[in-house]
Amino acid sequence: MKKTVLSCLIILLVAATGCNNPTSAKLEKVSPSGKVKVTVTGTRLTGLEPWKVTILVKAYDFKEGSLTAEIAAKDLTDENVKFSWFEESSADIVFTQSDSKLRTFRLISNANEMQMAEIPADPAP
């Protein structure tokens, strides 16, 4: 009986802790040229799980493209998702995770091409 009560208490405590964290998020950014729109959406079932993040890109006359990744962060906001635009329509999208590790996704877009991929982190020395 004691084990059951203790187990229920622990489960309740874990569930209550996760309730304060959001389970959906959305950020939208437009390039300085105005020709590229990036939408970052994230969902998760509970506030304790990693985010399932989709980066959706609409650039020039290309069909929408997307990339999906799992990001371990408390939230997805302008504080931990940074856009560094370069060449007017390209960007590095950098996520700061809960453990302070960075995940960087590079978007290259112009009138002739659109591509996006994760940039591997530098290996530790």
Report pLDDT digits (tens) over 41-75: 999 999 999 999 999 999 999 999 999 999 999 99
Q: What is the per-residue pLDDT for 16?
A: 46
How many structural domains comprise the chain?
A: 1
Token pair recorded at residue 80: 């931990």
Question: Using an 8 Å Cβ cutoff, are 116 and 107 in contact?
Answer: yes
If you average pLDDT over residues 30-50, what whole number do you get?
Answer: 96
* Weakest mean pLDDT among 4-13, 61-70, 73-82: 4-13
The reply to whether 74 falls in a domain is yes
Domain range enclosing 82 = 22-119
Confidence band for 124, pLDDT divided at 50, 70 and 90: low
The reply to whether 14 falls in a domain is no
The reply to whether 1 falls in a domain is no
Tell me how far apart the alpha carbons of residues 35 and 21 are, in angstroms, rounded to a whole number: 34
The reply to whether 73 falls in a domain is yes
pTM for the predicted model, two decimal places: 0.81
The reply to whether 87 falls in a domain is yes
| Position 105 pLDDT exceeds 90 | yes
Tell me how far apart the alpha carbons of residues 125 and 120 are, in angstroms, rounded to a whole number: 15
Q: For residue 103, give every residue at least 6 positions away whose Cβ sits within 8 Å of its Cβ, in sequence order, or none.
A: 69, 71, 94, 95, 97, 118, 121
CB atoms within 10 A of CB 43: 15
